[in-house]
A and B are shown apart, each in its own frame.
Chain A
Amino acid sequence: MFESQLGIFGLISDAGPVVLFVLSVLLSFSIVSWAIIAFKFGYIRKSLKESRLFLDYFFEVYNVEKVFTATEKYKQGSLPKVFRAGYIEYRAIDNHADSRQVTARIARAVKREANAENKRLSTFVSFLATVGNTAPFIGLFGTVWGIMTSFHNIGLTQSASLAAVAPGISEALIATAAGLAAAIPAVMGYNYFVQQISIIERDIEEFSPEFVAALLNEA
């Protein structure tokens, strides 16, 4: 077999320390990005599904006690969480005579839980945006550095041929490729999650008053 070091392994093994550092950073970025994508995908998907089922049940029954009991089945859904928070606050109120105060407290509890849920949904998503924005530039940095080194070596070898120039440049370009490989899924995941989270947030905004009204009617 020929003793040629072609391919990914050869490119990485011939790369300089800076390029290797860049590659390791990009690799870690990619690993964390994919972990976030997998984690958030399951979380958001389950939240959407349970929210939809909960809403169907809520409008079907419209009985707070029954609905609250049903929320035990939808612990991952955002809307059930918000409703549970309002219901617990409603139960914590001793005096239901002052309807204005009751409304304010329930609305406050619902709002607080909605904010908390928004934060939970948005956790780690910003990292995807960071990776999507910075990974190509980090890869580009590695490429520029690699090309600098390559040209330096070309000067040392005293050869200006394409055969002498091309290997170094191809080694350097792997950093850009790695940056793009890390950034593309991160950007795609970020856009997807932002869209899904905005749907959930809109649902929470729309149905929070409904929950408050249902609890007040119960009172």
Chain B
Amino acid sequence: MKTGQKQLYAQKKFYLWLAVAAVVHFFVLFASVFFQIWGTDHRLKPKIVSVTLVSLPGSMGGEQTVSSPAIVEEPQPITPTAPKIIEEKSPATKPVTKPPIKQIQLNQALARIQQRVEKQTPSPKPSSVTTLNSALARLQQKISTSGKPAGAGSVTVADNRVGAGKGYGSGGTSEPYKAAVASIIQQNWEFSRTLLKNSEGMAVYVRINILANGTITQIIFDRKAISEYLNTSVKKAIEKSSPLPILPKEVGGRDVWIGFVFSPEGLAK
């Protein structure tokens, strides 16, 4: 009888330790997850501040049914800030060295736009601001009359997504900014098409939220590609491209949503 009581006592004690061990295990598990999330947040916060998300320029080549050129969306007719046209025509393939300063990047993007406009205009005149403005104005007029995008839609910046979140940043005034951002991302996009056996139909639709100070607060994959490699490369490119330039004042608002389409074909171009 006494021995039985002792055994019962020992069993109870063991079960107590079992419960304690289970509780400690789950506590440790949850603590590790919690600290990991907490640590990730703390690590990412400064990174977000410094990292600017880049949108892919629309060198999607061929199947850009989704991407609508910015020109069509532009309600503002003859503003000199018609970089939408430029951005549409700017293929992602043009390698541009990444300047350290945001202003320089913006200037470079504008310079590229200017060069392209000069190529398209029949009269080859020395590049100047007035020439560029007039060329852009002609293009705008042409677009407004025809109602169609002047450049065959090779833009991968999904303008229909701009402002999809909160309505900020819609309109064409931010096109130079988008072009700059896209060029930055493109430069940082390390992607080898040869690693994909089949690149057909592979496209990544990404939406990013940029604060006024250029901070990227969110990266949302609207549609991922089958290849995880492509998805990861896009994400890395966006993270690597940081910090983004500060949002131009004409965009207004606290933040802006910009959508991009990444595809192997676009890169290959």
Chain A residues close to B by CB (< 8 Å): 1-4, 6-9, 27, 30-32, 34-36, 38-39, 43, 124, 156-161, 163-164, 167
A39–B36 touching, CB < 8 Å: no
Known A163-B232, A167-B228: A1·B44 in contact at CB below 8 Å: yes
B20–A35 touching, CB < 8 Å: yes
Q: How far is the CB of A87 from chain B (nearest CB, A)?
A: 16
Known A3-B220, A158-B196: A30·B25 in contact at CB below 8 Å: yes
A7–B40 touching, CB < 8 Å: yes
Least CB separation from A153: chain B residue: B228
Q: How far is the CB of B231 from chain A (nearest CB, A)?
A: 9
**15 interchain pairs, CB-CB under 8 A:** A1-B218, A2-B44, A8-B36, A35-B18, A39-B17, A43-B10, A156-B226, A158-B196, A158-B227, A159-B196, A159-B197, A161-B195, A163-B232, A163-B233, A164-B232
Q: For the complex, is B168 an interface residue (Cβ under 8 Å from A)?
A: no
Q: What is the bound-complex CA distance between A2 and B33, given in angstroms?
A: 16
Residues of B within 8 A of A158 (CB): 196-198, 226-227
Q: What is the bound-complex CA distance between A27 and B32, given in angstroms?
A: 15
Q: For the complex, is B152 an interface residue (Cβ under 8 Å from A)?
A: no
Task: Name the prevailing secondary structure of the B interface residues.
Answer: helix
Q: How far is the CB of A150 from chain B (nearest CB, A)?
A: 11
Q: What is the bound-complex CA distance between A35 and B44, given in angstroms?
A: 38
Q: What is the bound-complex CA distance between A1 and B17, given in angstroms?
A: 40
B227–A8 touching, CB < 8 Å: no
Residue A38 contacts which of B20, B25, B195, B232 (CB distance < 8 angstroms)?
B20
Q: What is the bound-complex CA distance between A160 and B198, given in angstroms?
A: 11
Residues of B within 8 A of A159 (CB): 195-197, 227-230
Least CB separation from B239: chain A residue: A2
Q: What is the bound-complex CA distance between A7 and B30, given in angstroms?
A: 12
Residue B32 contacts which of A2, A8, A43 (CB distance < 8 angstroms)?
A8
B212-269 residues at the A interface, CB under 8 angstroms: 217-221, 226-230, 232-233, 235, 239
Interface centre among A9, A35, A167 (most CB of B within 10 A): A35
